[in-house]
Amino acid sequence: MLFFKPFQTPSGTPNPGEGGTIDFTSPIEVFIYIIVPVFLFILYFLMRKKPPNK
């Protein structure tokens, strides 16, 4: 049992299951988690369809 002790999450750190959900009342979270990814997705496809310069 002593072998597994160092690999456990320390008690003071946040665990992956404690993150919670996106707070839609917070404008910064809406901007970061919704608007920015949608903008990057659209920008990716616009740049991809651009013909190469020759």
What mean pLDDT do residues 15-21 have? 70
Tens-digit pLDDT profile for residues 28-51: 999 999 999 999 999 999 888 777
Total domain count for the chain? 1
Does the predicted TM-score (pTM) go above 0.85? Answer: no
CA atoms of 30 and 25, how far apart (whole Å): 8
What mean pLDDT do residues 14-29 have? 79
pLDDT of amino acid 1: 52
Share above pLDDT 90 across residues of the chain, in percent, rounded to a whole number: 37
Q: Which residue has the higher pLDDT, 23 or 37?
A: 37
Structural domain includes residue 38: yes
Structural domain includes residue 42: yes
Structural domain includes residue 36: yes
Domain that holds residue 31: 24-49
Structural domain includes residue 8: no
Structural domain includes residue 4: no
* 30 in Cβ contact with 24 (< 8 Å): yes
